[in-house]
Structure 1
Amino acid sequence: LNKVYDWFEERLEIQAIADDITSKYVPPHVNIFYCLGGITLTCFLVQVATGDLL
């Protein structure tokens, strides 16, 4: 399993990406309703992309 992880790490720099994502500050008042706009946009873009492929 370590060989597979090392292979991905060498090509994609997974640890650097994970460190960047987890080091960002999140305000204490954030809840699911705060994120609904981004979640809705993401779902819409996925539908547009997959619908275009059909």
Structure 2
Amino acid sequence: MTLQVHDELLFDAPPTEVEEVTALVKHEMESVITLSIPIVAEVGQGPNWRDAN
């Protein structure tokens, strides 16, 4: 993890590992605790923070 700003996390990863890191982070963020309503983590990727969708 490179940066945390409020509720956003920024990770840097080699292009060959982006899919694996994305899946891992999304899974961990959504399953950290069990609540009566689901926790949904949105994931974007891009060459920089502004362009990550």
Query: Higher relative contact order by CA 8 Å / sep ≥ 6: 1 or 2?
Result: 2
Q: Which entry has the higher C-alpha Rg, 1 or 2? A: 1
Higher helix share: 1
Higher strand share: 2
Using the size of structure 1 for normalisation, the TM-score is: 0.35
